[in-house]
Structure formats: C-alpha cells, structure tokens
Structure 1
Amino acid sequence: MPRFDVDDCFRTGEPSLRHDEAVALILARTAAVTGTERVAVAAAGGRVLAETVAAPRDVPMTDTAAVDGWAFRAADLGGDGGALPISGHISAGPAREAPIAPGTAVRIFTGAPMPPGADTVAMQEHCMSETLAGAPAVRLPAGLRPGANRRRAGEDVAAGTLVLRAGTRLRPQDLASLGSIGRAEITVVRPLRVALVSTGDEIVRPGEPIRPGQVYDSNHLILTALLAGSGLELADHGVLPDDEAVVRRVIAGLSQSHDLIVSTGGTSRGEGDHIAAAVAALGRRHLWHLAVKPGRPLALGQIGGCLFLGLPGNPVAVFVTALLYGQPLLARLSGAAWRPPTRFPLPAGFDAPARKTGRREFLRGILETGPDGRLQAGKYGRDGSGLISGLRAADGLVEIGEDVPHIARGDLVDFIPFTEFGISPRSEPG
C-alpha cells in the first residue's frame, strides 16, 4: 500500500521547493504504517502509542503525607500550635481504616495514607518530642494552615482523566505515568523497518584499508545515532558500489522488506548517481531541489509500499537534512505527532554582509556571551559542508530566512538548539 500521496505533489511550478513547502508536503502526504503490537510498558520507551489511555482510578488513590512528620486535625490546635498525645504510627502501605482519635497526633512518613479524620501534617524538623500527662506527646508548630503537607487523592491524576493520546512517542516520564495508573502492557505501533545504505566507490567503512581519493563513511554513523531510540528496526546494508545493476538489485530487494530506505549520496543527476535512477526505474522518484543550504539535493521516492529518502553525501548536509526533513517523515510514517522545533530569537554575534536570497540557510550556531553579558548566537568560522568539526563545535542551528539579504552583528536571528531534535547538548572536557 502506498505510504505517500505522490500525485503531482512536487509540481509547484518553481525550480526549487522552499523549506516550509517541503516540510508541509511531508506532513500532508505521508501515511502511517499499519499494524500494532502489545508490549510491556517497561520495554515501550521510544515507541509510538496506538491507543488512548485514561486513568481508571485516582492517583494517588487516597490522601497521603507529602513529608515525614505528624498527622493531626487542624481544628484540634486552631493554628496556634501546641502539644498533642501520640496515638499511632503509619508507614507507607495499605490505608489505615481506624480514624485518628480527636486531640491526638499520629507519626507518619512520606507517601503513607492519611488516617481518616487527619487533614494536616507537620514536618518532623518543626516538631519536638515531649511528655504529656506521663505519656509520649509531640509539640507542633504554630501557623500551619489546614491541609498543609497533605497530597489529596487524585491530585496527580483524577479517575477518568485522559493520560496519553494515541500518536504519543513514549518518553521515560510517560512510562512512569502509565505505571502510576497500573498499566503493565500497552498497545504500540509496530516498529518501522528502515534500511540504511551508503553509496559510492569512494566510500570506505571505518576499519577497512583506505586509498588516496577515498573517504571514510561517517554518514552511516550520524544516521545510526540519530535514529537510535526512535522505536524502529534499523538495518545497515553497507556501501553500494557505483554499479547500476548492483544498486538496482539491492534497492529492489530492500523495498520488499522495509517501510523506508535511507541513503546518503547519489541523489544528484550525475552519471554515477545510480541510486536515484534505480528508484525512478523501480517505482517513482521525486527529486527535490530544495532552496536550502546545506542540503539542496534531496530525493524522495516510492517503490510499492516502501518510501525512499535520499540524503546528500556531505556529512553536514546529511546531519541537517536528517533533522529537518527526516524527523517529520519518520514521525508521520510511525503515526507519531510531530512538533516543529522551537526557534529562539537571539542577537547575532557575527556579520553576514551579503548573502544569496531565495534560499533558507542553516548555519552551525554556537551559544556565546556577548559584550553586554547576554546570550547571543555565534557561528562556526568555516561553512564547508564536509566539516564534521563544525557539527561538534555547534550547539544548534542558526536559521536565516529566504528573504534576508544580510545579517549585521546584533540583528535578531532564529536559533534552534540541537536539544529540540532530541540531541544532548555539547559536553566536552575543559
């Protein structure tokens, strides 16, 4: 079954698609894979939820103590403080059925159910033990408002409340929420089957001998790391040679067993760019000439029910296009909701006195402190799309719109932190 509504969707009448147009087409035309499976909640991290979940009961189920201390009736002291005899001891566990005796206090610990009748907890640090009429007692502080240090039943989640919607990609905190309502299993979308290939006789995998004119393949490492934790089944099929027959045979085979093929390199119209030609011969190819930098040559196609995403060959372009276009494509294919990355306006710490308009540019941005002591967006000093060192130095992307002719130091620019794409911030030894 086709995953992409391809009818004329790229015939925009313009020589190159703009960034926003490309993203909009992905979101509008991509259909999710079908099929679900039941998995343990503990194994569901990164998976896409296929059911809507509501809370079957209050969380917590009863009123509980928020601190270690002493539970009592606020009316017994009227806010003035004083000593009360001790009538019991409650630890976390099943709720106590017997109500608290009027005019007494009960020793209680964090998370323990409040005894019936008690409505307030005094922190143990604010209390003092003493003897009252020869029996153990506790002196409670003045000024406690009624209900202090008590968690009410349903305070976290009330029974019947929507907890998670279908299409949510499950994070650790989502798994905790499911556990808190007692769910041990959950229905999720089946994993996407993604094949990864590199192309070109000049590409050598790390660890293999290398000759002049060849380069080590860093792109497959970029993509493997970016796709980790996305709840998909990723299969690395190595480097394809510049041999049209071999490329077509491999791509035809992969299209029968995968939902998506992702390649790097070979997406232009050169004589050695066999992979895009193979997709066109086997199915349908839609070659995007994107009005973006880096990443102008990017291809999307389909062979039967398998989509093809052809990324550029340069590492920086692979990294940027995988974030900007690969992420929304994977989200839609997996049935997940997708949120555009948040842009943060920051003053530019650099000058770009003249730039080519009509295309959107994504610079490797570095967060730095400006002369006024405030945060500003700097940029990596060299712009080459093969410079992996720039990716390592960057904290995110500086986005410059198609119609901006120049940038002067201090102008506001949009900064997209890598954390918006699920990438940890830069952390290197000093």
Structure 2
Amino acid sequence: MIDVAAHLAAVLEAVVPLAPAARDVAAARGRVLRHPVHAALDVPAFDSSAMDGFAVRDLTAPVTLRVVADLPAGTDLDPRMDAGDAARIMTGAPVPTDATAVVPFEDTSSGLAGGLDPVTVVDAPRAPGAHIRRRGSDVRAGDLVVSEGTRLTAARIGAIAASGVAMVSVSRAPRIAVVSTGSELVAPGRALRRGQIPESNSVLLAGLAEETGAEVVLRTSVGDEGEGPREAIAAAEAAGADAVVFSGGVSAGAYEVVKNTLGDLMRFDRVRMQPGKPQGFGRTPAGTLLFGLPGNPVSAAVSFELFVRPALRALEGDAELGRATVRVALAEGWRARAERTQYVPVALDRTDPARWLARPTARGARGLGDADGLAVIAASAVDLVAGDVVTVALW
C-alpha cells in the first residue's frame, strides 16, 4: 500500500493549470484569480464625509454658523469657507478644502430640518478631522487588493471594483465527466429486479464537483463488460472535459471494468486509507485526468474529497487546495487502525460554542448526508476514547 500523501502528490504532479482569461469583475464571483489585483486609484479617491451633517472649520461650541453650500454625494463643488461658515454635507460627498471636521446632524440644534438656514452646533467635533475619511485611508493606488490564487467571493469582487479595476484574469470552471460503473445499476425511481440497485454515485459525485465549482459536462453509467469506460472517455473529451471520474470497477474482483479496460492509461494502487483503499489515476494522451474511485458511496465521496477536489482546485490555480479544518473532541470512542488512516463522516454538536463535539454519523449514504465533515483518525495501535481531540475537515 502507498500513503495518502503519495497518491495525492502523484495526482497533483499531473495537473496542468487551465489557461487564464480576462473577465468582467462583475461576472467573476466564484472563479480563481490568476494574477494579483492592485488598486487603480486611492480609496477613498478624495477626502469625503463619513456622516450626514455639516462641514465646519475650527470652532468651539455652542456656536451658530452661516450655511454657505449644500453638498450631496457626487458633487464636484469645493466652496470657500471662512470662519463662522458651514456647508451642509451628505455621506460620501467631498469635504471642502477649507473644512477641518464634519459635525453630524444630531450634534446640531435643528439637524436636517434646518435646511440651509443658519445652524447652531451644540457639540464641537472631538478633534480635527472628525468624521472625515481621508483620501487613500482604505487603499492607496498600487496597493495589493486581492492575491493571485484567491477564489473570488462577493466581498472580494466588491473590493476590486471599489479600487477602480474592471477586468480580472481568472480560470474558467473545470469541466468534469462522472461515470458510474456496474451492470446492477438502474436509474433512481425505476422498478428494480432482483440484484439491481438505484444508481446514485454519479448524482453524488456530480454534486460534489459542482459544489467545488466545476461544470459537469457528462454524467452516465456503464456496465461491467465491454469498452464502456473507453467510450465514456471519448464522449467526455468530445464534451471538453478536463477530468473523468469513474466510481467502481477498480478493486480486485473479476468484473472490475475500469481496471480491466484502462490499464494502459491508469495506474491502480492500494492506499493506506479507510474507506477508499483501491484507487486509480492516470491521464489520456490528450491530457484528460482520469480518476478511478471505489464504488461504495461513502468510499467514493471520501476519495473525491481527498484526491479529486484538490485536483479540480489545482486546475483553477487555487492556492487553497484543502478544506478548512478544526480540532474537535470526539463525543464517543473510536477504534483505530494500525495500518490505515481513517476518514470518518461526523456531525458536529455545537451546543456548547466553546467545546464542539464530533459524533460519527450512521453508516452508509444516509449517514453521509448528515455529516458536517470528515474526522481524520490517524493510524495507530491505540484506540481513541471520548474526549480525544481529532482534526475535522469541514464540508
């Protein structure tokens, strides 16, 4: 058997990142930035008011001031202000050059209702510059806004747009084909004869791929005999797939169709993990990545998390290939395996915010659906007891 890290390293070594392309920042959410973004301008671009109120010069309160201008957001006015003058100003408007602070409406006797009539300031500004956002106080032109390899969230594309940048260089979504193998498989909802089961792995793996940010271009199943896997690869490449993920057909049985037909394209290994020991990986002459995962749904999901998901993110140039992790105490004991690392679906009990507990879910697909993540149980001759702390990769 080989280690999980060795198998993952072989997978990532074969990944060639997708070519970047320019995209409008408004259409880039969810994509991975391939070049760093630097601010095109200062943010704010000018000294601006942080409050609705009155721009004033140095003063002591209480004092009544003459209102010489009305400054809404977007104005380009810069009125002269002498001692005893004020300018009504709205949040975001440029602060007059002569002003030293902004007094909020609530610190005046009449507030907004006074219009442009003289205003009485009840409370003086606490210091020069009060309620003024200085030019460049958030970002200076040329400053780094978002680093290369970052997946763009709504907040990040908002920061990029605010810095004056309209176009970004990103990866497109990886394209993936998902192929279930097994002559016993029948589409969900159809009548079953003896020996048949509903086909669910392609639904599961396609969903995991889409949650990763990939585009599923083909989802199908093939039987245990014939050239189904090779035909599926041809169809996937015709659809532009960057990766093909097979479930089933990679173990040690007599009808392992992926292993029996794709030995010239894929290597098949036993990996020190539970579940998911049998794994296959390779590339076609065209460069399409080929993954062979076990057929058990939980084994397939765990294998996807450990090997396929990092590969898809590496295709995009994502700097973060793995899931976020937390250290959590087990709610109950767990039997360790001396020769294999275990990946256990767990639900997180957050009743006590200061002490989360990880509780293994029920076996099978239903238990997988209840899981919040995977607890990593290191290979050991010593069993774990309730309260022992483990690493949980969060879903």
TM-score > 0.5 by shorter chain:
yes
Question: What CA distance in whole angstroms lies between the structure 1 residues aligned with 2:19 and 2:373?
Answer: 35
Question: What CA distance in whole angstroms lies between the structure 1 residues aligned with 2:380 and 2:103?
Answer: 62
Give, in angstroms, the shift of residue 365 of structure 1: 1.9
Which moves more between the two structures, 311-320 or 334-343?
334-343
Residues 129-152 of structure 1: per-residue CA shift (max 9 Å, x gap):
2899x9521324246232222222
Q: How does 1:210-289 map to 2 (within 5 A)?
A: 210-228=192-210, 230=212, 232-255=214-237, 257-281=240-264, 283=265, 285-289=266-270
Code of the residue aligned with 2:31 in structure 1: it is: R
Question: What CA distance in whole angstroms lies between the structure 2 residues aligned with 1:213 and 1:138?
Answer: 87
Question: What CA distance in whole angstroms lies between the structure 2 residues aligned with 1:315 and 1:99?
Answer: 73
Q: Does 1:95 align with 2:76?
A: yes
- Cα distance change of structure 1 residues 56 and 297 upon mapping to structure 2, 3 Å threshold: same
Residues 156-192 of structure 1: per-residue CA shift (max 9 Å, x gap):
2210112233333222222212221333333323443
Question: What CA distance in whole angstroms lies between the structure 2 residues aligned with 1:239 and 1:270?
Answer: 19
The residue aligned with 1:51 is 35
Question: What CA distance in whole angstroms lies between the structure 2 residues aligned with 1:163 and 1:236?
Answer: 37
Question: What CA distance in whole angstroms lies between the structure 2 residues aligned with 1:391 and 1:263?
Answer: 20
Q: Does 1:395 align with 2:372?
A: yes
Question: What CA distance in whole angstroms lies between the structure 2 residues aligned with 1:94 and 1:330?
Answer: 48
Given that 1:95 and 1:115 are in contact with CA atoms closer than 8 Å, whether structure 2 keeps it comes out as no
The residue aligned with 1:378 is 358
Q: How does 1:159-178 map to 2 (within 5 A)?
A: 159-178=141-160
RMSD between aligned alpha carbons?
Answer: 2.8
Which moves more between the two structures, 114-123 or 249-258?
249-258
Give, in angstroms, the shift of residue 229 of structure 1: 6.0
Code of the residue aligned with 1:395 in structure 2: it is: D
Given that 2:108 and 2:119 are in contact with CA atoms closer than 8 Å, whether structure 1 keeps it comes out as no
Give the share of equivalent positions with the same residue, in percent.
Answer: 31
Given that 2:11 and 2:281 are in contact with CA atoms closer than 8 Å, whether structure 1 keeps it comes out as no
Question: What CA distance in whole angstroms lies between the structure 2 residues aligned with 1:55 and 1:275?
Answer: 50
Given that 1:349 and 1:376 are in contact with CA atoms closer than 8 Å, whether structure 2 keeps it comes out as no
Give, in angstroms, the shift of residue 242 of structure 1: 1.5
- Cα distance change of structure 1 residues 346 and 192 upon mapping to structure 2, 3 Å threshold: closer
Decide which of 11, 21, 35 is 1:37's aligned counterpart. 21
The residue aligned with 1:425 is none
Question: What CA distance in whole angstroms lies between the structure 2 residues aligned with 1:223 and 1:217?
Answer: 12
Residues 256-314 of structure 1: per-residue CA shift (max 9 Å, x gap):
64321112222213222112333323x2x222322112222222111111110122222
Q: Does 1:23 align with 2:8?
A: yes
Residues 364-383 of structure 1: per-residue CA shift (max 9 Å, x gap):
2222267x88423232353x
Decide which of 185, 196, 202 is 1:203's aligned counterpart. 185
- Cα distance change of structure 1 residues 220 and 159 upon mapping to structure 2, 3 Å threshold: same
Question: What CA distance in whole angstroms lies between the structure 1 residues aligned with 2:359 and 2:327?
Answer: 15
Q: Secondary structure at the match of 2:369?
A: helix
Code of the residue aligned with 2:30 in structure 1: it is: G
Given that 1:47 and 1:230 are in contact with CA atoms closer than 8 Å, whether structure 2 keeps it comes out as no
Given that 1:86 and 1:106 are in contact with CA atoms closer than 8 Å, whether structure 2 keeps it comes out as yes
Q: How does 1:309-388 map to 2 (within 5 A)?
A: 309-352=291-334, 354-368=335-349, 374-382=354-362, 384=363, 387-388=364-365
Question: What CA distance in whole angstroms lies between the structure 1 residues aligned with 2:380 and 2:160?
Answer: 46
Given that 1:63 and 1:153 are in contact with CA atoms closer than 8 Å, whether structure 2 keeps it comes out as yes
Q: Secondary structure at the match of 1:158?
A: coil
Question: What CA distance in whole angstroms lies between the structure 2 residues aligned with 1:100 and 1:228?
Answer: 59
Q: Secondary structure at the match of 2:110?
A: strand
Question: What CA distance in whole angstroms lies between the structure 2 residues aligned with 1:23 and 1:315?
Answer: 20
Code of the residue aligned with 1:23 in structure 2: it is: L
- List alignment gaps of at least 5 residues for structure 2: none
**Normalized against structure 1, the TM-score is what?**
0.82
- Cα distance change of structure 1 residues 102 and 293 upon mapping to structure 2, 3 Å threshold: farther
The residue aligned with 1:9 is none
Question: What CA distance in whole angstroms lies between the structure 2 residues aligned with 1:365 and 1:221?
Answer: 21
Given that 2:103 and 2:125 are in contact with CA atoms closer than 8 Å, whether structure 1 keeps it comes out as no
Question: What CA distance in whole angstroms lies between the structure 1 residues aligned with 2:73 and 2:381?
Answer: 62
Q: Does 1:112 align with 2:93?
A: yes
Residue correspondences, number: 391
- Cα distance change of structure 1 residues 103 and 397 upon mapping to structure 2, 3 Å threshold: farther
**Normalized against structure 2, the TM-score is what?**
0.88
Q: Secondary structure at the match of 1:280?
A: coil
Question: What CA distance in whole angstroms lies between the structure 2 residues aligned with 1:148 and 1:20?
Answer: 55
Question: What CA distance in whole angstroms lies between the structure 2 residues aligned with 1:162 and 1:335?
Answer: 18
Question: What CA distance in whole angstroms lies between the structure 1 residues aligned with 2:117 and 2:165?
Answer: 46
Decide which of 18, 29, 50 is 1:66's aligned counterpart. 50
- Cα distance change of structure 1 residues 194 and 393 upon mapping to structure 2, 3 Å threshold: closer
Code of the residue aligned with 1:233 in structure 2: it is: E
- Cα distance change of structure 1 residues 114 and 349 upon mapping to structure 2, 3 Å threshold: same
Q: Secondary structure at the match of 1:228?
A: helix
Question: What CA distance in whole angstroms lies between the structure 1 residues aligned with 2:75 and 2:211?
Answer: 37
Q: Secondary structure at the match of 2:118?
A: strand
- List alignment gaps of at least 5 residues for structure 1: 1-14, 419-430
- Cα distance change of structure 1 residues 53 and 402 upon mapping to structure 2, 3 Å threshold: same
